[in-house]
Structure 1
């Protein structure tokens, strides 16, 4: 009988020790998880009115926590989300999450209110400078191992430094001058810095910019072989260049090279106009791209 009692006591002690160990491990793992917790914003929604959130970048993904909410991007505004209650007076807290093109992840806890304290929110002004510098970064497939925030910072740095390191590639006609000011490379990506000068009095409305690889010399009556290249990012949206004004932009593309019998063509098209400009880039220009050192954002 004593032997049975001792065995039972040993089993109880073992179970207690195991439970305590598991509890400590769970607490430890939970503590580590809390270190990486994304703090949620809190907001109120109502049934009869729509709330709007303005994000610093275009919205890429939205997930609603329950059927209590309905949401959608505003028409012709990629960075504005409209959201409202789908049912009246829901009592349970719900949530939704948003991922934007700059790699930021946002989380919101949502409560119902018949009279919300605020209906519209500007996320850029809500973020502190330190929050943006230490922001969570979502990696996108097209950018590979490059974080969207670093890619955006490189685009901004090249744009603001505004140096012309390529001086032999340009196009000029009808009072419009299109220049390739620089080619930079970083972590498997190219950054093309362009500038458009409008020396006429007629505004130049940019329709689109086209990148493609074509044969350098094409015999007559043969089909031109073209390989389009789609930019992954641009520093700012294409816009109108007013009369006697100059503007620039930076385009992010996957790294590539071309053979000597081909060239890269960069075209800029005028909306409802005929002042199209074309740049021709050789393989020698690509392989001499300036290297960007992301540790200090220096261009070597």
Structure 2
């Protein structure tokens, strides 16, 4: 665990007092995965009963949080873009969530010095237009190319198919398809992709890490009765090792239908 310089810890503590703080509930038998908008550079908990682990050698967006019975505390996280995030910590025997995606608007402030106006004019933020165009072109290509089915799962008349897993640049393109063979239209709530390791029956060695999409192409909002919808789901590049598998979860927005697909 890295140690904050005193001035930085004091600054973040001051920002914490001014901001509304979300509460994270943790325990000592499960791991809560916290995914920040940008790579984590520093983090500190207010009490040794709580541990927040993250990669200090190659900064990433993922942090893993656990805690032990005792007093409540707090967590302060600093990301690569200079933003600070504050969370209250509390122990619970049973967790309501196993992961949390944190949006940038949850930041309590930026600890970097404000640049002069002329510096901002001379060095504008880069446009993401080129990346979006690249994602769209590659997604269109892989959608047209995918003719086979790697894995499919059917439940309650809804079929989820994984048609292709393709690598291009620094991203992985997942070509998927939803078919509605039920008698009711299927309104898509969300599609979430995970990389899982180990046996879920052995909780001590099982890990399920979400892969946040960087781009979605032709993502459907509703699949009507008898209809098929094919789309591309783009995530950061990854590979599957031994005992690892890809998990795709599809959920209905106004209903209870849920489809889970596994591929290894």
TM-score computed with the length of structure 1 as normaliser: 0.43
Based on CA coordinates, which of the two structures has the bigger radius of gyration? 1
Larger relative strand fraction: 2
TM-score (norm 2): 0.48
